Amino acid sequence: MRFSVRSMTVLFLTCLLYTTGCASEDATSNVPESTPVNPFDLPGNWYKANFHAHTTTSDGDVDLPTRVEQYKGAGYSILTVTDHEKTNDVTPFNTNDFLLISGMETHPASPNPDMRFHFVCLNVPLGLSFTKETGAEERIKTVLGKGGYVIAAHPYWCGFTIEELYPLKAYGVNAMEVYNATCRFCGRDVSSVHWDELLAKGWRLPALAVDDVHNDSSLHVGWTWVRAEALTLDAIMAALKSGAFYASMGPEFKDVRIQDGVVKVECSPVVKIQFFANAPNGMQMLAKDAPLTMASFEPKKKLTYVRVEITDANGKVAWSPALYF
Protein backbone atom coordinates (compact mmCIF):
# COMPACT_ATOMS: atom_id res chain seq x y z
CA MET A 1 0.00 0.00 0.00
CA ARG A 2 1.39 3.38 -0.98
CA PHE A 3 0.99 6.59 0.99
CA SER A 4 1.38 10.08 -0.35
CA VAL A 5 3.39 12.69 1.56
CA ARG A 6 0.12 14.46 2.43
CA SER A 7 -1.54 11.29 3.74
CA MET A 8 1.50 10.43 5.87
CA THR A 9 1.48 13.98 7.28
CA VAL A 10 -2.22 13.74 8.11
CA LEU A 11 -1.68 10.32 9.72
CA PHE A 12 1.19 11.58 11.85
CA LEU A 13 -0.61 14.72 12.98
CA THR A 14 -3.81 12.82 13.68
CA CYS A 15 -1.91 10.30 15.83
CA LEU A 16 -0.19 13.15 17.64
CA LEU A 17 -3.51 14.86 18.30
CA TYR A 18 -5.04 11.59 19.47
CA THR A 19 -2.14 10.96 21.83
CA THR A 20 -2.61 14.35 23.43
CA GLY A 21 -6.37 13.92 23.49
CA CYS A 22 -6.19 10.48 25.09
CA ALA A 23 -3.89 11.80 27.78
CA SER A 24 -6.41 14.54 28.56
CA GLU A 25 -9.25 12.02 28.64
CA ASP A 26 -7.27 9.76 30.97
CA ALA A 27 -6.75 12.66 33.32
CA THR A 28 -10.49 13.22 33.56
CA SER A 29 -11.66 9.63 33.24
CA ASN A 30 -13.15 9.66 36.72
CA VAL A 31 -15.33 12.67 35.92
CA PRO A 32 -18.66 11.59 34.39
CA GLU A 33 -19.67 13.38 31.20
CA SER A 34 -22.54 15.76 31.78
CA THR A 35 -25.72 15.21 29.80
CA PRO A 36 -27.19 18.30 28.14
CA VAL A 37 -30.58 19.28 29.50
CA ASN A 38 -33.84 19.02 27.60
CA PRO A 39 -34.81 22.71 27.22
CA PHE A 40 -38.48 21.73 26.92
CA ASP A 41 -38.38 20.65 30.57
CA LEU A 42 -37.24 24.07 31.75
CA PRO A 43 -39.03 27.26 32.80
CA GLY A 44 -38.16 30.54 31.13
CA ASN A 45 -38.38 32.21 27.73
CA TRP A 46 -37.15 31.44 24.24
CA TYR A 47 -34.62 33.95 22.91
CA LYS A 48 -33.65 34.14 19.23
CA ALA A 49 -29.89 34.29 18.72
CA ASN A 50 -27.14 34.36 16.12
CA PHE A 51 -23.80 33.30 17.57
CA HIS A 52 -21.56 33.79 14.51
CA ALA A 53 -21.21 37.21 12.84
CA HIS A 54 -18.48 39.33 11.28
CA THR A 55 -18.00 43.09 10.88
CA THR A 56 -15.45 45.41 9.31
CA THR A 57 -13.26 44.67 12.34
CA SER A 58 -12.26 41.65 10.23
CA ASP A 59 -13.87 40.62 6.92
CA GLY A 60 -17.50 41.69 7.28
CA ASP A 61 -19.15 44.27 5.05
CA VAL A 62 -20.57 46.59 7.74
CA ASP A 63 -19.41 48.02 11.05
CA LEU A 64 -20.56 46.80 14.45
CA PRO A 65 -23.37 49.34 15.04
CA THR A 66 -24.89 48.47 11.65
CA ARG A 67 -24.62 44.72 12.28
CA VAL A 68 -26.32 45.13 15.66
CA GLU A 69 -29.23 47.03 14.13
CA GLN A 70 -29.63 44.40 11.41
CA TYR A 71 -30.34 41.76 14.05
CA LYS A 72 -32.07 43.85 16.65
CA GLY A 73 -34.44 45.22 14.02
CA ALA A 74 -35.26 41.69 12.84
CA GLY A 75 -36.47 40.57 16.25
CA TYR A 76 -33.34 38.86 17.53
CA SER A 77 -32.61 39.11 21.24
CA ILE A 78 -28.98 37.93 21.15
CA LEU A 79 -26.02 38.46 18.83
CA THR A 80 -22.38 37.46 19.22
CA VAL A 81 -19.82 39.33 17.15
CA THR A 82 -17.04 36.88 16.23
CA ASP A 83 -14.49 38.62 14.07
CA HIS A 84 -11.42 36.67 13.01
CA GLU A 85 -8.74 36.81 15.73
CA LYS A 86 -10.10 40.16 16.95
CA THR A 87 -12.53 41.31 19.64
CA ASN A 88 -14.95 44.24 19.84
CA ASP A 89 -16.19 46.41 22.68
CA VAL A 90 -19.82 45.30 23.07
CA THR A 91 -20.69 47.33 26.18
CA PRO A 92 -22.43 50.28 24.44
CA PHE A 93 -24.91 48.02 22.63
CA ASN A 94 -26.48 46.09 25.48
CA THR A 95 -30.01 47.03 26.54
CA ASN A 96 -32.82 45.41 28.50
CA ASP A 97 -34.15 43.76 25.34
CA PHE A 98 -30.95 43.03 23.41
CA LEU A 99 -27.77 41.23 24.43
CA LEU A 100 -24.55 41.60 22.44
CA ILE A 101 -21.94 39.04 23.50
CA SER A 102 -18.22 39.54 22.99
CA GLY A 103 -16.72 36.85 20.77
CA MET A 104 -13.97 35.90 18.37
CA GLU A 105 -13.32 33.29 15.70
CA THR A 106 -9.89 31.76 16.12
CA HIS A 107 -7.94 29.44 13.82
CA PRO A 108 -5.33 27.09 15.30
CA ALA A 109 -3.64 24.38 13.28
CA SER A 110 -5.53 21.13 12.80
CA PRO A 111 -4.41 17.60 11.86
CA ASN A 112 -5.27 18.49 8.26
CA PRO A 113 -2.36 20.52 6.83
CA ASP A 114 -4.69 22.09 4.27
CA MET A 115 -7.25 23.47 6.78
CA ARG A 116 -6.97 25.14 10.16
CA PHE A 117 -9.63 24.68 12.83
CA HIS A 118 -12.33 27.34 13.04
CA PHE A 119 -13.48 27.88 16.64
CA VAL A 120 -16.23 30.37 17.44
CA CYS A 121 -15.56 31.62 20.96
CA LEU A 122 -18.26 33.34 23.02
CA ASN A 123 -17.95 35.58 26.08
CA VAL A 124 -14.28 36.38 25.65
CA PRO A 125 -12.55 39.37 27.25
CA LEU A 126 -11.83 42.43 25.18
CA GLY A 127 -8.33 42.25 23.72
CA LEU A 128 -7.95 38.47 23.86
CA SER A 129 -5.49 37.29 21.22
CA PHE A 130 -3.40 34.27 20.31
CA THR A 131 -0.18 33.85 18.40
CA LYS A 132 -0.45 31.87 15.18
CA GLU A 133 1.55 29.07 16.80
CA THR A 134 -0.78 28.67 19.79
CA GLY A 135 -2.34 25.21 19.58
CA ALA A 136 -5.98 24.19 19.62
CA GLU A 137 -5.98 22.80 23.16
CA GLU A 138 -4.35 25.89 24.64
CA ARG A 139 -6.76 28.26 22.86
CA ILE A 140 -9.81 26.27 23.92
CA LYS A 141 -8.73 25.98 27.54
CA THR A 142 -7.84 29.68 27.68
CA VAL A 143 -11.33 30.64 26.51
CA LEU A 144 -13.01 28.18 28.87
CA GLY A 145 -10.85 29.39 31.76
CA LYS A 146 -12.13 32.91 31.22
CA GLY A 147 -15.76 31.80 31.41
CA GLY A 148 -16.19 31.44 27.66
CA TYR A 149 -17.77 28.90 25.34
CA VAL A 150 -16.25 27.22 22.28
CA ILE A 151 -18.09 26.07 19.15
CA ALA A 152 -16.57 23.96 16.39
CA ALA A 153 -17.59 25.91 13.29
CA HIS A 154 -18.81 24.42 9.99
CA PRO A 155 -16.99 21.05 10.14
CA TYR A 156 -18.40 19.90 6.78
CA TRP A 157 -17.18 23.05 5.04
CA CYS A 158 -13.76 22.49 6.60
CA GLY A 159 -13.68 18.93 5.32
CA PHE A 160 -12.77 17.45 8.69
CA THR A 161 -13.13 13.76 9.38
CA ILE A 162 -14.60 12.36 12.58
CA GLU A 163 -11.12 11.21 13.57
CA GLU A 164 -9.93 14.80 13.32
CA LEU A 165 -12.90 16.18 15.27
CA TYR A 166 -13.34 13.68 18.07
CA PRO A 167 -10.16 14.60 20.03
CA LEU A 168 -11.70 18.06 20.54
CA LYS A 169 -13.97 16.43 23.12
CA ALA A 170 -11.02 16.04 25.49
CA TYR A 171 -10.09 19.69 24.98
CA GLY A 172 -13.52 20.85 26.13
CA VAL A 173 -15.26 22.09 22.97
CA ASN A 174 -18.84 22.89 24.03
CA ALA A 175 -20.86 22.59 20.81
CA MET A 176 -20.74 22.44 17.02
CA GLU A 177 -22.54 24.15 14.16
CA VAL A 178 -25.05 21.82 12.53
CA TYR A 179 -26.01 24.58 10.09
CA ASN A 180 -23.99 27.50 8.74
CA ALA A 181 -25.78 29.77 6.26
CA THR A 182 -22.68 31.17 4.56
CA CYS A 183 -21.46 27.65 3.74
CA ARG A 184 -24.58 26.96 1.67
CA PHE A 185 -23.01 28.65 -1.35
CA CYS A 186 -20.65 25.71 -1.77
CA GLY A 187 -23.20 23.12 -0.66
CA ARG A 188 -21.56 22.44 2.70
CA ASP A 189 -23.95 24.23 5.07
CA VAL A 190 -25.34 21.18 6.92
CA SER A 191 -23.02 19.16 9.17
CA SER A 192 -25.66 16.78 10.50
CA VAL A 193 -23.76 13.64 9.45
CA HIS A 194 -20.75 14.79 11.47
CA TRP A 195 -23.07 15.44 14.40
CA ASP A 196 -24.63 11.97 14.19
CA GLU A 197 -21.27 10.25 14.01
CA LEU A 198 -19.93 12.16 17.02
CA LEU A 199 -23.10 11.44 18.99
CA ALA A 200 -22.83 7.76 18.09
CA LYS A 201 -19.26 7.73 19.43
CA GLY A 202 -20.60 8.91 22.78
CA TRP A 203 -19.87 12.65 22.61
CA ARG A 204 -22.99 14.32 24.00
CA LEU A 205 -22.43 17.40 21.88
CA PRO A 206 -25.10 20.09 21.38
CA ALA A 207 -25.47 21.81 18.00
CA LEU A 208 -26.44 25.29 16.81
CA ALA A 209 -27.49 27.03 13.59
CA VAL A 210 -25.78 30.28 12.64
CA ASP A 211 -25.57 32.84 9.85
CA ASP A 212 -21.78 33.32 9.92
CA VAL A 213 -22.79 36.60 8.31
CA HIS A 214 -20.22 38.51 6.26
CA ASN A 215 -22.70 40.32 4.00
CA ASP A 216 -26.42 40.61 3.26
CA SER A 217 -26.57 37.25 1.47
CA SER A 218 -26.44 35.40 4.79
CA LEU A 219 -28.58 37.60 7.02
CA HIS A 220 -31.30 35.91 9.10
CA VAL A 221 -31.01 32.47 7.49
CA GLY A 222 -30.13 30.19 10.41
CA TRP A 223 -30.49 30.86 14.13
CA THR A 224 -30.59 29.29 17.56
CA TRP A 225 -33.45 29.38 20.07
CA VAL A 226 -32.10 29.61 23.64
CA ARG A 227 -34.22 28.73 26.67
CA ALA A 228 -33.33 30.93 29.65
CA GLU A 229 -35.03 32.62 32.57
CA ALA A 230 -33.68 36.08 31.73
CA LEU A 231 -31.96 38.00 28.95
CA THR A 232 -28.74 38.52 30.87
CA LEU A 233 -25.21 37.43 30.06
CA ASP A 234 -25.07 35.11 33.05
CA ALA A 235 -28.42 33.48 32.24
CA ILE A 236 -27.66 33.01 28.54
CA MET A 237 -24.18 31.61 29.16
CA ALA A 238 -25.61 29.21 31.75
CA ALA A 239 -28.25 28.11 29.24
CA LEU A 240 -25.63 27.51 26.55
CA LYS A 241 -23.38 25.53 28.88
CA SER A 242 -26.31 23.34 29.92
CA GLY A 243 -27.40 22.72 26.31
CA ALA A 244 -30.75 24.53 26.60
CA PHE A 245 -31.23 25.42 22.94
CA TYR A 246 -32.07 24.15 19.47
CA ALA A 247 -31.20 25.13 15.89
CA SER A 248 -33.58 26.37 13.20
CA MET A 249 -34.05 27.99 9.81
CA GLY A 250 -37.75 28.62 10.47
CA PRO A 251 -39.82 25.72 11.88
CA GLU A 252 -40.35 25.63 15.63
CA PHE A 253 -40.43 22.81 18.13
CA LYS A 254 -43.14 22.99 20.75
CA ASP A 255 -41.99 19.92 22.67
CA VAL A 256 -39.53 17.06 22.26
CA ARG A 257 -39.12 14.35 24.89
CA ILE A 258 -38.67 10.67 25.65
CA GLN A 259 -41.60 9.31 27.60
CA ASP A 260 -41.77 5.63 28.61
CA GLY A 261 -39.27 4.81 25.92
CA VAL A 262 -41.21 6.62 23.18
CA VAL A 263 -39.82 9.74 21.50
CA LYS A 264 -42.54 12.36 21.11
CA VAL A 265 -42.43 15.62 19.20
CA GLU A 266 -44.81 18.56 18.76
CA CYS A 267 -43.99 21.35 16.32
CA SER A 268 -45.22 24.07 14.01
CA PRO A 269 -46.83 22.79 10.77
CA VAL A 270 -44.30 20.86 8.68
CA VAL A 271 -44.24 18.44 5.77
CA LYS A 272 -41.64 16.06 7.19
CA ILE A 273 -40.60 14.81 10.62
CA GLN A 274 -37.44 12.72 10.66
CA PHE A 275 -36.07 10.85 13.68
CA PHE A 276 -32.32 10.11 13.78
CA ALA A 277 -30.55 7.70 16.13
CA ASN A 278 -27.70 5.22 16.24
CA ALA A 279 -27.33 3.70 12.77
CA PRO A 280 -29.31 2.27 11.10
CA ASN A 281 -32.25 3.26 13.30
CA GLY A 282 -34.71 6.08 12.66
CA MET A 283 -38.12 6.90 11.27
CA GLN A 284 -39.71 9.35 8.84
CA MET A 285 -43.21 10.78 8.64
CA LEU A 286 -44.42 12.70 5.58
CA ALA A 287 -47.48 14.92 5.40
CA LYS A 288 -50.29 13.77 3.14
CA ASP A 289 -53.56 15.72 3.23
CA ALA A 290 -52.55 18.14 5.98
CA PRO A 291 -49.32 19.41 7.58
CA LEU A 292 -47.83 17.47 10.47
CA THR A 293 -47.70 18.97 13.95
CA MET A 294 -46.78 15.89 16.00
CA ALA A 295 -45.22 12.47 15.72
CA SER A 296 -43.80 9.67 17.84
CA PHE A 297 -41.09 7.08 17.42
CA GLU A 298 -40.80 3.90 19.48
CA PRO A 299 -37.36 2.36 18.99
CA LYS A 300 -37.23 -1.41 18.59
CA LYS A 301 -33.58 -1.62 19.63
CA LYS A 302 -31.54 -0.18 22.46
CA LEU A 303 -30.27 3.28 21.50
CA THR A 304 -28.01 5.81 23.15
CA TYR A 305 -29.40 8.98 21.56
CA VAL A 306 -32.15 10.35 19.37
CA ARG A 307 -32.73 13.68 17.64
CA VAL A 308 -35.41 15.09 15.36
CA GLU A 309 -35.38 17.21 12.20
CA ILE A 310 -38.52 18.94 10.96
CA THR A 311 -38.92 20.43 7.47
CA ASP A 312 -41.59 22.93 6.46
CA ALA A 313 -43.26 23.49 3.09
CA ASN A 314 -40.52 25.96 2.09
CA GLY A 315 -37.76 23.44 2.73
CA LYS A 316 -36.65 25.16 5.93
CA VAL A 317 -35.35 22.84 8.64
CA ALA A 318 -35.08 22.81 12.42
CA TRP A 319 -32.89 20.47 14.44
CA SER A 320 -33.97 19.38 17.92
CA PRO A 321 -31.54 18.91 20.77
CA ALA A 322 -30.20 15.40 20.99
CA LEU A 323 -31.88 13.43 23.78
CA TYR A 324 -30.34 10.48 25.55
CA PHE A 325 -31.70 7.15 26.77
Domains in the chain with CATH codes: 5-249 (3.20.20.140), 250-325 (2.60.40.10)
**Is the pLDDT confidence value at 184 over 80?**
yes
Q: What is the pLDDT of residue 21?
A: 38
Buried b (16+ CB within 10 A) or exposed e, 44-63: eebbbbbbbbbbebbebebe
> What amino acid is encoded at 40 in this protein?
F
Taking a C-beta distance cutoff of 8 angstroms, is the pair 311, 317 a contact?
Answer: yes
The pTM assigned to this predicted structure is 0.90
Q: What is the tens place of the pLDDT at every residue in 218-242?
A: 999 999 999 999 999 999 999 999 9
pLDDT digits (tens, 9 = 90+) for 15-29: 333 333 333 333 333
Q: What is the pLDDT of residues 60-93, one digit of tens each?
A: 999 999 999 999 999 999 999 999 999 999 999 9
Taking the C-alpha atoms of residue 129 and residue 87, their distance in angstroms, rounded to an integer, is 8
Residue 295 pairs with which residues in a beta bridge? 265
The answer to whether the beta carbons of residues 85 and 58 sit under 8 Å apart is: yes
